[in-house]
Chains A and B, each alone.
Chain A
Amino acid sequence: MEPKNTEVPASSLDEVPEGIRRARAAFIRDFPALIANRRTRGKYVCYHNEKCVAITKNYRAMIDEVNRQNIPEDAYLLFQVIPGEDRDQQLIAEEADIDLF
């Protein structure tokens, strides 16, 4: 499926867009329920602002779903519901220092 909504808003070239911050915060908030639920554990979820708008079994299917729903590029995040993902996302949310090397 061809992507439609790929424009990056000029206001968010280097800053993390508000929609993405909200999506991350919502995922962290919902993570205990997502990991406890057999329907979502291990799956891919898409958060558009504060709302989970898609659940798929694989990443490419999720890309297709994001394109199908034409979700704005600056307002969604994809996650896999696996142990530790909430901790990683919390570190990113806090802009923590991480030694990559």
Chain B
Amino acid sequence: MPYLLNCMPFSEKPDEIILRNERVRIRANQIILWVSLSLRRVNSANPTAIPFPVILDTGHNHSFSIHERHLTEWAGLRPDSLISLGTIGDRRQRVLLRAANIWVHPNERGSRERLAEKPPLLIETKKGIAVYPGSDFPRLPIMGLRALAENNLVLNVDGPRRQATLRTQIRWWPFT
């Protein structure tokens, strides 16, 4: 059964990750995933892409949100290389929905920063990813509940062990 998060630990204390010489602050009780992005008509993950951390936030009701600087510097994609699929209003600003595919790189079981030697898994984002202007909000890219629901994923949060597991349904066809 494919795992996107395999006993991913989350800490009760704030912490940091180093990504391309940038110190990335992870707050207490935040679950992260490692992802890369591609153009929407690319059917496999870019083997040279460097995965970056995103927060798994079940209170976020879109699939994926990111600001322009992270899209450019972390995902390696210019915003204008992704076609605009629509706009929505959020926090009194217009937010573009841009076409992209999301690839989740599974972690090594029990490790937050080591990745498993397994192929990345595609997350469908037919409505696009929300790209916020500038470099302030969201503080880190966010994957929301819509991505989990629309991709038939199963999330388990083990509070006592402070671990999260995210997996596909058994025999779920997009990952065959």
Contact = CB atoms under 8 A, between A and B. Distances in A.
Interface residues of B, number: 36
B157 interface: no
B82 interface: yes
A89 B62 CA distance: 13
Interface in B36-75: 39-43, 59-62, 65
A12 B122 contact: no
A97 B124 CA distance: 23
Contacts of A1: 43
Nearest to B84: A16
- Interface centre among B81, B86, B122, by most chain A C-beta atoms within 10 angstroms, is B86
Given A64-B43, A67-B41, A96 B89 contact: yes
A8 B65 contact: no
Interface stretch (B3-11, B21-29, B90-98): B90-98
A54 interface: no
Contact of B88 (A6, A63, A78, A96): A96
Interface of B: 39-43, 59-62, 65, 80-91, 94-97, 99, 122, 124, 126-127, 130, 144, 150, 173-174
